[in-house]
Structure formats: C-alpha cells, structure tokens
C-alpha cells in the first residue's frame, strides 16, 4: 500500500547561487559523502530530501543529515534514513522507499514513494 508520495523540483542555477552565497549551507544540507558531487547532482539530492519530507507529511525533528541519497549495487538511487526521519517512517509503517531523480535543462527533480508491505 502506498503511504505517501512526494515530488520536488529545483532550479539548478538558483540552488548554486544559494550555495555560493551561504557556504555553510552545503555542510548543513549534505552528508560528507554527498558534498563533492557536481551541482546538478546536489540539486537532485536536495529535491529528493524535500520530496521525502513531503511524502512523510511532517518534518518535525528532521535533520538534513538523516536523509542521505546513495546508490544501490545497480546504481539506482536510494535513500538512507536515520534518526528522526527513520523514526517517523517506522511510525508510519513504511517498509520500502522508492526514489527517482533527474536533472536536465537547468532543473533537478525527484519523486519519492513510501510503501508498506
């Protein structure tokens, strides 16, 4: 059963200007494993985190580092969640998280589906 759906889009150039204007923002939003990626990938990861927040319906207590985009063995993007994010998803009964990301024509997008068995 689908428990939540979230989508987000990010203007890559605008996101880059935000990171340039506020250098600590990169460290606040991204785990060490994400920080060195190209701007378009960072924007897509930010969109993924925002989409996860929307899919969960509540971001109370969420910390950006508790949501990390990784890749599985087949290079599919996955969300690794810890802390308050993991607790919220567990409380919702989430057993699977699905993530799709893309970036093209200056826009990064992400789509998250939260599912229970």
From CA 37, how far away is CA 109, in angstroms rounded? 16
In the prediction, which pLDDT does 9 show? 98
61: helix, coil or strand? coil
What is the architecture, at CATH level 2, of domain 2-115?
A: Alpha-Beta Complex (3.90)
pLDDT score at 72: 84
- pLDDT tens sequence across 65-117: 999 999 888 989 999 999 999 999 999 999 999 999 999 999 999 999 999 98
Q: Tell me, what's the pLDDT at 58? A: 87
| CA triple 3-111-56, angle to 5 deg | 35
Q: How far apart are CA 11 and CA 19, in angstroms?
A: 12
Please tell me whether the overall predicted TM-score, pTM, comes out greater than 0.85 for this model. yes
Name the one residue in this structure whose structure tokens are 């200056």: 106
């Amino acid at each position: 059963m689908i428990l939540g759906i979230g989508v987000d889009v990010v203007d890559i150039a605008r996101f880059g200007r935000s990171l340039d204007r506020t250098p600590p923002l990169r460290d606040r939003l991204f785990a060490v494993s994400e920080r060195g990626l190209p701007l378009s990938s960072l924007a897509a990861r930010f969109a993924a985190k925002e989409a996860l927040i929307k899919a969960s319906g509540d971001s109370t207590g969420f910390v950006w580092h508790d949501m990390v985009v990784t890749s599985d063995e087949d290079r599919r993007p996955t969300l690794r969640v810890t802390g308050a994010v993991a607790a919220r998803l567990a409380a919702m009964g989430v057993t699977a998280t699905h993530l799709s990301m893309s970036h093209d024509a200056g826009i990064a997008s992400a789509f998250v589906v939260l599912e229970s068995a």
